[in-house]
Amino acid sequence: MKFSTFGNRFTRHTGARQLMDDLGAAMTSETPVMMLGGGNPAHIPEVLQLLTTRMRAVADEPREFRRMIADYASPAGEDRFRESLARLLQREYGWALGPEHIALTGGSQAGFFQLFNLLAGAHDDGSYRRILLPLTPEYVGYADLGLTEDMFVSRRPTIEFLDDRLFKYHIDFEQLAVTDDIAAICVSRPTNPTGNVLTDAEVRRLAEIARDGGVPLILDNAYGVPFPGIVFTDVEPIWDDNTILCMSLSKIGLPAVRTGIIVASPEIVDAITGLNSVMSLAVSSVGPVLLRELVDDGSIVDLGRNVIAPFYRDRAERALAWLRAALDGCEYFIHRPEGAYFLWLWVPGMSITSEQLYRRLKERGVYVLPGHHFFPGLDGDWPHRHECIRISYSQDANAVRRGIAIIGEEVRNACR
């Protein structure tokens, strides 16, 4: 079969494909698998109970049930949900916006595909513009979203070494500039894969650099505030008319409903609405109808603050202790977990690459993600990218503990 250039580009091996293939294999395996590589959220009992209650309530209301599954929504997304979310953001943060500033997409991944290709790539004036990632490592799913090659350019971070074998990446603002070939700045907060959370001052400085450079700032808020709120430090949600804030219902506990949220200028929202119309006519209403009441009364924020964030904070502390015990006596560093639900392990001087470590672990039923996938658009050969792995602690605690013990064994073998 001969595929088009588009077909060849999007059927090749990618980090996102590797991640989702592993996740699918782990979920259907008949033998025990320790899934420490995927981005699937934990099955938090309180959240599942709440979703079950909401599902029954919607099913008992014929009109809402029809809105959920039997009717097309607006191509901008379910209107009542967008109205409720606009009121929530106005009430909580004083943002001057309405539903015309909000569009829904078929998951965050689809939303970023739309945004990146809307802003970057080939332009009618003959120019080619790219997305600037001011901090790497960065989310694996960005790397292959461009319709053309070379859509991303990224910058190395500075590294701050902390106590207890922790470290933290920082944006190197001295090396950050918006040149003529940049279409937008994009950063995740918290950052997947490291759990890094940019400070409010860092985000405001990025917003200023973007505005001065005449480009928008895209904030990937899939794990952040106001929801799902998987942040272990004090941060303030930040948005203005030059910021594109991207959120999701996935990390609340609804990854299967594929609902991404874009908060942006009406011009961007109108463009996303047009893309939704062409690509899928409309996006799913399941998640928006299911959670609209929680958004309407603000309890979705309380859910993150009182249930989801404490759950993951406890998991992070336990996983960190297990990993330290497993690697005692080795030379290693762990990025300080400040949010999301990953540990980012750096083992300098390994005799093998992170890809080889990934394969050794997979043979033992432990799935992680090798670090080299998380450096899209980074020029130069930086050995650091082959010395790191991402470890998820969102799944069954016993499986995470066993998997981390095996990681310790394999890392020791690789450091001898």
Question: How many residues are there in the chain?
Answer: 416
Taking the CA of residue 257 as centre, how many other CA atoms within 13 Å lie in the half-sphere pointing to its CB? 23
Taking the CA of residue 138 as centre, how many other CA atoms within 13 Å lie in the half-sphere pointing to its CB? 30
Banded model confidence at residue 381, pLDDT cuts 50, 70, 90: confident
Rounded percentage of the chain residues whose pLDDT exceeds 70: 95
Domains of the chain, with CATH numbers? 5-47+303-415 (3.90.1150.10), 73-297 (3.40.640.10)
Q: Using the predicted structure, report yes or no on whether residue 27 has a pLDDT greater than 60.
A: no
pLDDT of residue 73: 93
**Matching residue, tokens 């030059």:** 242
Q: What is the torsion angle, in degrees rounded to the nearest 10, for the CA atoms of residue 78, residue 80, residue 81 and residue 85? A: 140
Tokens, residue 259:
């609902």
Q: Which residue has the higher pLDDT, 339 or 149?
A: 339
Q: What is the mean pLDDT of residues 239-259?
A: 95
Under 8 Å CB-to-CB from 250, ≥6 apart: which residues? 41, 107, 108, 222, 257, 258, 259
Tokens, residue 158:
């500075």
Q: What is the mean pLDDT of residues 180-209?
A: 96
**Matching residue, tokens 């990218």:** 385
Banded model confidence at residue 144, pLDDT cuts 50, 70, 90: confident
Rounded to the nearest 5°, which phi and psi values hold at 364? -100, 15
Cα 365 to the center of its chain, rounded Å = 25
pLDDT digits (tens, 9 = 90+) for 231-247: 999 999 999 999 999 99
Q: pTM of the full predicted structure?
A: 0.93
Mean pLDDT for all residues in the chain: 93
Please state, in angstroms and rounded to a whole number, the distance separating the CA atoms of residues 410 and 416.
Answer: 10
CB 40 within 8 A of CB 394: yes
pLDDT digits (tens, 9 = 90+) for 335-366: 999 999 999 999 998 899 999 999 999 999 99
